[in-house]
């Protein structure tokens, strides 16, 4: 029987019913401008400040260290450009990042490179992890900022953030992490993990699109990215997206309060999916199986095209992804899979399935019923597969 299985939660998630209910009044009843002094304005302001407290609590931060933005991309841009321009005043124009960051980070550092900043890209090893000792070696006198993502959006690998943060603290370099995929999925503590700047967004944790935040450690100077009114204590202009901010707060509260139970349930489903799909001939898991987001499955199937696989899965009601949504439309394989050392040919056959707490064991059963015959059928039509078989090639091994 046909089902609909949404397994692309790393791209975005549906707004949960509870979050939606929390947001609704702020469109048409509590519509006041949070900067206005009369009561509908004050009510809106109160809601914004309550959301700020919730976000702060989830990260072990202070409310006055949380600044609302239009989402993860803006938070990344602000953290990186804001810190870089500030540090450049003191002659520090070197930035360290990694090769498998989200484009919101990679394209931002590339734009800074054109303005005379120098960029070091740390290698990502075949397990999908950066090595703290390589960060240590890359830091220079003129290093302004280190920006390394908390968890990768494609292969789900969770970086050794606390160790990276400790190195940056000891070497007195600012440490930013794009935690968009991690927030709500793994416990985060900006104090214990020595994080100076952290980006997050609501729509990856059952909140609305277009609402996010940047955590800025007290005392860290950032140049403004968005200039205008005095909102967000003069550091991020623009009338607050009240409903969006309320939605972010509600989503964070739900995600942070039940993090362990959800992670346990999700990782069980994830591991069953990985185990089942690994039975397919010449199937490979991408990224470390342990240091991994609880809902992330990313595999390559030799001899097929990820895009065709997605289309066939879609016909059966299954939504997944191949590479990231931002790169689809281009024929290049994902920069993340290339960064961990996969050859183009293998990287082209990738599939990411990302689960959330709205998925069920029946969803996993259904995927495991549908996926193997589809891979089989695509291989029968694939000249590449024919070549692999006729040459009697050994299965690919990641070095």
Ligand X SMILES: *Cc1c(COP(=O)(O)O)cnc(C)c1O
Which one, 13 or 267, has the nearer CB to ligand X?
Answer: 13
What is the rounded distance in angstroms from the CA atom of residue 377 to the CA atom of residue 379? 5
**Minimum distance from residue 326 beta carbon to ligand X (Å):** 9
**Minimum distance from residue 279 beta carbon to ligand X (Å):** 29
The strand pair at 118-122 and 94-98 is best described as: parallel
List C-alpha distances in Å: 271 to 276, 298, 302, 303, 389.
Answer: 8, 11, 21, 24, 29
Q: Per the residue annotation, which of 58, 168, 256, 326 is the catalytic one?
A: 326
| Residue facing ligand X at closest CB distance | 72
Q: What contacts 399, CB < 8 A, 6 or more positions away? A: 126, 341
Q: What are φ and ψ of residue 178, in 5° steps?
A: -80, 105
With 0-12 CB in 10 A as exposed, 13-18 as middle and 19+ as buried, what is 218?
A: exposed
Which one, 267 or 324, has the nearer CB to ligand X?
Answer: 324
CB 38 within 8 A of CB 232: no
Q: How many CB atoms lie within 10 A of CB 228?
A: 11
**Minimum distance from residue 209 beta carbon to ligand X (Å):** 7
What is the rounded distance in angstroms from the CA atom of residue 386 to the CA atom of residue 371? 20
Which one, 30 or 201, has the nearer CB to ligand X?
Answer: 201
Which one, 202 or 274, has the nearer CB to ligand X?
Answer: 202
Q: Name residue 328's beta-bridge partners.
A: 330
CB 340 within 8 A of CB 128: yes
Q: What contacts 162, CB < 8 A, 6 or more positions away? A: 192, 193, 194
**Minimum distance from residue 163 beta carbon to ligand X (Å):** 20
**Minimum distance from residue 118 beta carbon to ligand X (Å):** 23
What is the rounded distance in angstroms from the CA atom of residue 257 to the CA atom of residue 126? 33
What is the rounded distance in angstroms from the CA atom of residue 377 to the CA atom of residue 1? 19
Which one, 210 or 341, has the nearer CB to ligand X?
Answer: 210
Which ranges of 124-204 does DSSP label H, i.e. alpha helix? Answer: 132-138, 161-170
Which one, 87 or 354, has the nearer CB to ligand X?
Answer: 354
Which one, 102 or 379, has the nearer CB to ligand X?
Answer: 102
What is the rounded distance in angstroms from the CA atom of residue 143 to the CA atom of residue 306? 39
**Minimum distance from residue 103 beta carbon to ligand X (Å):** 8
What is the rounded distance in angstroms from the CA atom of residue 12 to the CA atom of residue 116? 35
Question: Which spans of this chain sit near ligand X (rule: CB under 6 A)?
Answer: 71-73, 76, 102, 104, 149, 153, 178, 180-181, 201, 203-204, 212
**Minimum distance from residue 194 beta carbon to ligand X (Å):** 20
Which run of H or of E encompasses 146? Answer: strand 143-147
Assess whether 58 carries a catalytic annotation.
no
- State the catalytic residues: 326
């Amino acid at each position: 029987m046909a089902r609909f299985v949404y397994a692309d939660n790393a791209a975005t998630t549906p707004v949960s019913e509870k979050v939606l209910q929390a947001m609704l009044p702020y469109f048409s009843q509590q519509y006041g401008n949070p900067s206005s002094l009369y009561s509908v304005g004050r009510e809106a302001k109160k809601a914004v400040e309550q959301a700020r407290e919730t976000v702060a609590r989830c990260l072990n931060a202070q409310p006055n260290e949380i600044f609302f933005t239009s989402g993860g991309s803006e938070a990344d841009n602000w953290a990186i450009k804001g810190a870089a321009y500030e540090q450049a005043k003191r002659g520090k124009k070197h930035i360290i990042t990694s090769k498998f960051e989200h484009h919101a980070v990679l394209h931002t550092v590339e734009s800074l490179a054109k303005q005379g900043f120098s960029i070091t890209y740390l290698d990502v090893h075949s397990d999908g992890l950066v090595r703290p000792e390589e960060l240590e070696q890359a830091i220079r006198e003129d290093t302004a900022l280190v920006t390394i993502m908390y968890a990768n959006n494609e292969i789900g690998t969770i970086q050794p953030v606390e160790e990276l943060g400790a190195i940056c603290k000891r070497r007195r370099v600012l440490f930013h992490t794009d935690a968009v995929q991690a927030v709500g999925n793994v416990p985060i503590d900006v104090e214990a993990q020595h994080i100076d700047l952290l980006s997050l967004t609501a729509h990856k944790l059952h909140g609305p699109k277009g609402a996010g935040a940047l955590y800025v450690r007290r005392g860290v100077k950032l140049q403004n990215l968005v200039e205008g009114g005095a909102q967000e204590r003069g550091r991020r202009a623009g009338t607050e997206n009240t409903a969006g901010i309320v939605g972010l707060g509600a989503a964070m509260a739900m995600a942070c309060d039940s993090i362990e139970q959800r992670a346990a349930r999700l990782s069980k489903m994830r591991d069953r999916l990985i185990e089942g799909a690994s039975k397919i001939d010449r199937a490979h898991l991408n990224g470390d199986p342990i240091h991994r987001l609880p809902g992330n499955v990313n595999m390559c199937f030799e001899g097929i095209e990820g895009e065709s696989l997605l289309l066939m899965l879609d016909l059966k009601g299954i939504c997944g992804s191949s590479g990231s949504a931002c790169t689809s439309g281009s024929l290049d394989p994902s920069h993340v899979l290339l960064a961990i050392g996969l050859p183009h040919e293998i990287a082209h056959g990738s599939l990411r399935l990302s689960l959330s707490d709205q998925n069920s064991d029946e969803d996993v059963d259904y995927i495991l019923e549908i996926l193997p015959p589809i891979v089989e059928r695509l291989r029968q039509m694939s000249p590449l597969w024919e070549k692999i078989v006729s040459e009697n090639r050994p299965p690919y091994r990641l070095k």
